């Protein structure tokens, strides 16, 4: 069976209860056209076709499972986008939502480590409490730049456990010279959709299409300890701290220059070659900078400094 046919059967299974006149052949034809005629990547083609049938059926995305039922998984074993699954986890941290559309956002943890979760106001779910452990059924995974999170939706079941889930430590600490600032650093725009934080590329979100976007600051950097190179992401707060520039100042700088790239250039000038100790969780290949400390040059990192100066 071809990949196109398999995906078509999966999509048909998802919508067979909602659209009586849709056949597997209909779905396969749509997928085949996108993949083989228009050369759309399979993942994007599947999302596009699912979105078409969601609109046709008048359904929200979280009202239709991805097919095959939910599977019990450890958080750090999640490796697919839009995968429906069950987890047993402890709420290790809650954050203040930045949008009225978000009911709760924070970190879940189990023996494999921690992962971000989000619950939307429209789902009308009972609130999770920090420090308590739950069995969460029918949550759905989300992936962005190799980093996974889970979304609670209106079909998610929440059951408080009578035992505490042990949380493994997936944090990493790296020390070394910051030797590279990668593309996608500086002043960026994120998708304005309430369930999306993807960075717009040429004004377009890969999930939701064209949009005005909301400004944000970040640094995608490489920290070299003299032996290995580690990819590190600094969020807005960490970027403001290490670069000494606020989001408002970055927007003004870009407006004055009529060019957003001046912000990344300014940041690069300030921090390239600087030594840091960075600690935080790992998501995919990245270390997320929760704690950052500037260090003085150390002899053990001499090789990293040489590489930093040569770039």
Which pLDDT value is given to residue 182? 94
Query: Per-residue confidence at 304, pLDDT binned at 50, 70, 90?
Result: very low
Lowest mean pLDDT: which of 43-52, 235-244, 299-308? 299-308
Which pLDDT value is given to residue 299? 40
Which pLDDT value is given to residue 258? 93
pLDDT: is 307 or 37 the higher one? 37
Which pLDDT value is given to residue 269? 95
Which pLDDT value is given to residue 254? 95
Residue 309 has pLDDT above 50, yes or no: no
- pLDDT tens by residue, 113-159: 888 999 988 888 999 999 999 999 989 898 876 678 999 988 889 99
Residue 21 has pLDDT above 50, yes or no: yes
Which percentage of the chain shows pLDDT scores above 90?
46
Alpha-carbon span 100 to 114, nearest angstrom: 25
Residue 297 has pLDDT above 80, yes or no: no
Query: Per-residue confidence at 61, pLDDT binned at 50, 70, 90?
Result: low
Query: Per-residue confidence at 84, pLDDT binned at 50, 70, 90?
Result: confident
- Provide the whole-model pTM: 0.54
Residue 22 has pLDDT above 70, yes or no: yes
What are the domain boundaries of the chain? 3-59, 81-160, 171-310
Which pLDDT value is given to residue 99? 78
Tokens linked to 24: 């597997």
Q: What is the mean pLDDT of residues 55-63?
A: 73
For the domain made up of 81-160, the CATH class stated in words is: mainly beta
Residue 187 has pLDDT above 50, yes or no: yes
Which pLDDT value is given to residue 221? 96
| Fold (CATH) for 171-310 | OB fold (Dihydrolipoamide Acetyltransferase, E2P) (2.40.50)
Q: What is the mean pLDDT of residues 236-259?
A: 95
Whether the domain at 81-160 and the domain at 171-310 fall into the same CATH topology: yes
Q: What is the mean pLDDT of residues 195-203?
A: 79
């Amino acid at each position: 069976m071809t990949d196109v046919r398999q995906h078509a059967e999966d999509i048909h299974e998802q919508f067979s209860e909602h659209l009586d006149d849709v056949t597997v052949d209909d779905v396969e034809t749509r997928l085949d056209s996108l993949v083989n005629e228009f050369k759309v990547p399979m993942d994007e083609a599947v999302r596009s076709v699912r979105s078409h049938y969601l609109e046709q059926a008048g359904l929200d995305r979280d009202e239709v499972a991805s097919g095959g039922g939910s599977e019990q998984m450890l958080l750090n074993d999640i490796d697919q986008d839009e995968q429906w699954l069950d987890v047993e986890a402890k709420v290790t941290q809650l954050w203040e939502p930045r949008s009225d559309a978000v009911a709760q956002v924070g970190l879940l943890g189990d023996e494999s480590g921690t992962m971000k979760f989000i619950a939307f106001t429209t789902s009308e779910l009972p609130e999770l409490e920090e420090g308590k452990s739950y069995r969460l059924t029918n949550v759905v995974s989300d992936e962005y730049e190799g980093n996974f999170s889970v979304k609670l939706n209106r079909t998610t079941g929440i059951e408080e456990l009578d035992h505490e889930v042990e949380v493994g430590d997936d944090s990493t600490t790296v020390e070394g010279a910051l030797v590279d600032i990668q593309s996608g650093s500086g002043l960026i725009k994120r998708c304005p959709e309430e369930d999306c934080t993807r960075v717009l590329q040429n004004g377009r979100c890969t999930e939701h299409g064209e949009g005005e976007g909301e400004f944000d600051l970040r640094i995608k950097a490489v920290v070299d300890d003299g032996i290995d190179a580690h990819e590190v992401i600094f969020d807005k707060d960490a970027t403001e701290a290490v670069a000494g520039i606020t989001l408002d100042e970055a927007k003004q700088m870009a407006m004055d220059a009529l060019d957003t790239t001046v912000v990344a250039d300014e940041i690069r000038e300030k921090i390239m070659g600087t030594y840091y100790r960075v600690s935080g969780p790992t998501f995919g290949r990245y270390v997320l900078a929760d704690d950052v400390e500037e260090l003085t040059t150390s002899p053990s990192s001499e090789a990293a400094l040489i590489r930093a100066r040569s770039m």
